Amino acid sequence: MRVAIARWLRHFPWWISKGIGVSVKVETLVLFGATGDLAQRMLFPSLYNLHLDGLLADALTIIGSGRSKMDRTTFHAQVRAALTEHLPADRIEDAGVAAFLDRIDYCAIDAGAGTGYDELAALLGDRMQRPIGVYLSTPPSMFGPIAQGLKAAGIACAECRIAMEKPIGHDLASSREVNQQVGDAFAEDHVFRIDHYLGKETVQNLLALRFANMLFEPLWNAQAIDHVQITVAETVGLEGRVSYYDGVGALKDMVQNHMLQLLAIIAMEPPASVSATAVRDEKVKLLRSLRKMRAEDVKAHSVKGQYSSGAVNGGAVTGYADELGQPSNTETFVAIKAFIDNWRWKGVPFYLRTGKRMPERKSEVLIQFKPVPHNIFARVGAGKLDANMMIINLQPEENIRVKVMAKQPGLDRDGVKLKEVTMDVSLSHSFAGERRRIAYERLLLDFIEGDQTLFVRRDEVEAQWQWIDSIRDAWAAVDMAPQTYTAGSWGPSSAIALIERDGASWHD
């Protein structure tokens, strides 16, 4: 029987078969924060896509939960409106939407006041005996109290699992506290910490690029690589998230999670397999090898910025403080020169930069290789050879470009002429016709099926905070304030100096 199932599973992509193979699927999904922005923009549209593609078991039911009291029909109308607003028109099928809504119930819970859990238990009925997946899309301060509330109401069975959005705490100590409170109700192998970057196809592709090809790995180290740049640039500003963003800033909002996960995948040692344990063991080792920031280095190794008014995408935009309505010390841009203290990366700087109101939306990894050790063409007229460079575009473009030297055609009577040319692999072109899925489709499916590979483990989050705390402490020690940059520029001029001091330049 197992052999037959295994043979049958081969017809499915590896992640589906792996999920089915390792864990029990949840039968009820309870979504806290179901009336919130993320649920409306991402979670319900993603669940609907999975439903429409036949990827959700018939038995799966969804219970949306929010603070407001409302009946099922009113909630259905909200979900229907969210689907119409956030999905392309050709995905909306009347019968499909009706069948999807059929799966959905609503239960009001005031997690702050600790009320509504008994009503949830009553609504769950005998579903309480079967695996439940609880998804928290709520303010992070609610993670601990909700986990405790579920436990008290008996909704934390051995096969129940919990997923949480970021951030887990606001520093190492508070993240430990949240992890402890959640861990008290759910075992770690049932806790799914979300970093939506891990759900992105292009981020997963970094694993394929590094470990499914022989070409790069032998060169992936300090012997061959001069430095690495990771840029996550956004054109958006505050987007009405004032109450969340101010006081948090780019370091905690983007570097602590998304950028460090990217860094870990790019720099970790090869895991033995793509199992959750193997991948996360390697990531955590890498995160722990990040050199802590010291107060004496912080001015040379980091830059904080805050945008002032300017123009983005041809339109005038107001500055951060004006959007906020008061002056603020929160950084909307950060650039960091990081080092990984291990054998592989000794002495290789990793330049990280992220910011809001940049000139374009672009997430990119650049690997700058070292020059060849000896230029054999020097005597026949070829000047300096450009060192190879690999640029991996994660979004919105999906491509990989490698810059290599090539001989310019000719008889070479005046000397050999070499020129840098680009090998360009467009992933959107190579996989044209494949629908690009929302990152949350993948994450929700893995959560339902119990595969933790693309979720962040407790020790990873804590290692991330440890490094971030060292930067914040160093900033505080030297009283570092954000420097102004014009909206629509690549950040303060000191961010350019940060890398140019080392003889390199940002790839803009």
Task: With CA atoms as reference, report the closest residue to 160 among 186, 188, 199, 121.
Answer: 186
**Closer to ligand BG6 at the Cβ: 234 or 441?**
234
Give min distance, CB of 488 to ligand BG6, in A.
17
Give the H or E element holding residue 315. Answer: strand 315-317
The one-letter amino acid at 195: D
Give min distance, CB of 357 to ligand BG6, in A.
11
Give min distance, CB of 448 to ligand BG6, in A.
21
**Closer to ligand BG6 at the Cβ: 85 or 184?**
85
Give min distance, CB of 52 to ligand BG6, in A.
22
Give min distance, CB of 478 to ligand BG6, in A.
26
Whether 14 and 52 have beta carbons less than 8 Å apart is answered as no
**Closer to ligand BG6 at the Cβ: 148 or 202?**
202
Phi/psi at 200 (5° precision)? -75, 135
294: left (phi over 0), alpha (psi -120 to 50) or beta: beta
Give min distance, CB of 395 to ligand BG6, in A.
6
Whether 345 and 264 have beta carbons less than 8 Å apart is answered as no
In the chain, the largest separation of any two C-alpha atoms, in whole Å, equals 88
**Residue nearest ligand BG6, Cβ-based:** 253
Cβ contacts of 87 within 8 Å, gap of 6 or more? 45, 48, 49
**Closer to ligand BG6 at the Cβ: 105 or 234?**
234
Unique residue bearing structure tokens 């924060």 = 33
**Closer to ligand BG6 at the Cβ: 234 or 282?**
234
DSSP string of 102-139, one letter each residue: HTEEEEE-BTTTTBSHHHHHHHHGGGGGS-EEEEE-S-
For residue 446, the SS3 value is helix
DSSP string of 53-83, one letter each residue: TT-S-TT-EEEEEESS---HHHHHHHHHHHH
Phi/psi at 475 (5° precision)? -60, -45
Unique residue bearing structure tokens 């012997």 = 223
Q: Tokens for 54?
A: 């036949």
Give min distance, CB of 17 to ligand BG6, in A.
27
Binding site for ligand BG6 (CB under 6 A): 234, 253
**Closer to ligand BG6 at the Cβ: 43 or 62?**
43
**Closer to ligand BG6 at the Cβ: 234 or 281?**
234
Q: Which residues are catalytic?
A: 258
**Closer to ligand BG6 at the Cβ: 234 or 364?**
234
- Find the distance separating the first CA and the last CA of the chain, reported in whole Å: 56
Give min distance, CB of 234 to ligand BG6, in A.
5
Tell me the helices (H) and strands (E) count for the chain, helix number first. Answer: 20, 17
228: left (phi over 0), alpha (psi -120 to 50) or beta: beta
